[in-house]
Chains A and B, each alone.
Chain A
Amino acid sequence: MKKELLVVTGTVMDESVQFSLVELCECAKTTREQVFEMVEEGILEPEGASIHTWRFDTRALKRVQIAIRLQHDLGVNLPGSALVLDLLEEMETLRRQMRDF
């Protein structure tokens, strides 16, 4: 077993980070078709008028990743994922508030 200590610096996924369609697909390891379906379902709301100018934020990346995992692990379809994602975000906000009190 080898042990090594690497010092690594990552990218903070804040509002300054945006993805094009191609970049989003690459990051989330998914296909354009799947992203199109998610946009159609309202899971993703890219900025920009056409697919060539679409910009996705980091929240979108997280939503794609979770939707894919939900689909694969639990057999949740896209409308189901859309619902779960919205509820998850709400729960996360509430949990964070609760922790502070």
Chain B
Amino acid sequence: MEYKDYYKIMGVDRKATPEEIKRAYRKLARKYHPDVSKEKDAEAKFKELGEAYEVLKDSKKREAYDRIGQNWQEGQTFTPPPDWQREFGFGTGFAGGGQATGFSDFFEALFGGGFSPHREGAFYRGFQSQGEDQQVRILIDLEDAYHGASRTVALNTPELDAQGRIVSNRKTLNIKIPRGIQAGQRIRLTGQGMPGMQGGKNGDLYLEVEFNKHRYFQAKGKDVSIELPVTPWEAALGGSVPVPTLGGKVEVKIPRGSQSGTQLRLKGRGLPGETPGDQLVTLKIVTPPAPNEAAAALYKQMAELMPMNPRQNMGIDR
């Protein structure tokens, strides 16, 4: 197992006072709290921080930890001293077996299950207790939300083995993503969270869905929007143009005299559901280049035949 430098994790000196440690914890906990933080590895950082604080806030544990010495480096391979259990007796000496903390092997080796670092209602050694809920954020493509898909999610959950020791069990779940799911929506998997202890119920697993950025679609709730490039003649004269939708290409009639920014609503072409969402199409006129004399002459002819002042609303007279 790897050595954990709890002082480094908390960014405090080895001589830090309990007050300094508490302050450091509060500050970092706010920074990495998974509900608040958008740091990529917030969840892992927060857990690591909780573990470090669990040791450093407790004078007995801190003293024991300090006795290991300070010549260890974070991540270095570590084996507890042979007389560790006898000397400090944190181990799993309590009746009722270990307690799943979700902490590192390093922590478990030194302090056993420890006392509840978890939220109320979590694991208590030897008592029946409910497992904690777990949250996982998953990124899916908009197409997956439209068609429905399945995703494999890997979770680390602590479990008790036959000898009552805590082992980390890597659980892989193949989860069905139902069609029509929207960004920010959660899928609740009853009983798939942290295991309950001593016959207590398992916690639930919540998957929070977000969409990957799409090349041209944007989703808002169950509606999907797209910016559709059109030629000036398609906009001016109107006509039918092919438009991509999540369900495939459809022909859309552009009204005569459309402008850049004109919006069309394709009913029921958004994300599926009891009432499916719509697809909003915003036209964007693309200017054809004038790479040769003939094309340039055509533009000049247009300027003469149909002069217009697009800036008249701005009090500019040409």
Instruction: Tell me which of B68-76, B92-100, B171-179 binds A.
Output: B171-179
Identity of the chain A residue whose Cβ is nearest the Cβ of B217 in the assembled complex = A100
Q: What residues of chain B lie closer than 8 Å to A69, measured between beta carbons? A: 33, 35, 119
Bound CA span A96–B182, Å: 12
Question: Are A74's CB and B189's CB within 8 A?
Answer: no
Q: What residues of chain A lie closer than 8 Å to B50, measured between beta carbons? A: 73
Bound CA span A3–B157, Å: 12
Q: State which of B26, B121, B181, B274 has its C-beta within 8 Å of the C-beta of A75.
A: B26
Does any Cβ of B come within 8 Å of A14's Cβ?
Answer: yes
Q: What residues of chain A lie closer than 8 Å to B46, measured between beta carbons? A: 73
Question: Which label, helix, strand, loop or mixed, suits the secondary structure of the B interface?
Answer: mixed
How far in angstroms is the closest Cβ of chain A from B149? 12
Identity of the chain B residue whose Cβ is nearest the Cβ of A6 in the assembled complex = B173
Question: Are B176's CB and A7's CB within 8 A?
Answer: yes
Bound CA span A68–B132, Å: 12
Beyond A27-B204, A69-B119, is A10–B189 a contact (Cβ under 8 Å)?
yes
Question: Which among B46, B184, B207 has the greatest number of chain A C-beta atoms within 10 A?
Answer: B184
Question: Are B174's CB and A6's CB within 8 A?
Answer: yes
Does any Cβ of A come within 8 Å of B186's Cβ?
Answer: yes
Size of interface on B: residues with Cβ below 8 Å to A: 46
Bound CA span A2–B121, Å: 27
Does any Cβ of A come within 8 Å of B62's Cβ?
Answer: no
Q: State which of B119, B173, B176, B188 has its C-beta within 8 Å of the C-beta of A68.
A: B119
Bound CA span A86–B26, Å: 21
Q: What residues of chain B lie closer than 8 Å to A73, measured between beta carbons? A: 29, 33, 46, 50, 119
How far in angstroms is the closest Cβ of chain A from B188? 5
Identity of the chain A residue whose Cβ is nearest the Cβ of B183 in the assembled complex = A96
Question: Are A5's CB and B169's CB within 8 A?
Answer: no
Question: Are B174's CB and A8's CB within 8 A?
Answer: yes
Identity of the chain B residue whose Cβ is nearest the Cβ of A101 in the assembled complex = B218
Going nearest first, the 5 A-B pairs with the smallest beta carbon separation are A10-B187, A10-B189, A100-B218, A13-B186, A9-B176
Q: Can you add 9 more A-B contacts, CB < 8 Å, to A10-B207, A92-B184? A: A1-B169, A4-B171, A6-B173, A10-B189, A13-B185, A66-B35, A72-B119, A74-B33, A88-B36
Q: Write the residues of chain B forming the contact surface with A, with a CB cutoff of 8 angstroms.
A: 26, 29-30, 33, 35-36, 38, 46, 50, 119-121, 130, 133, 150, 152, 167, 169-176, 178, 181-190, 192, 203-207, 210, 213, 218, 274
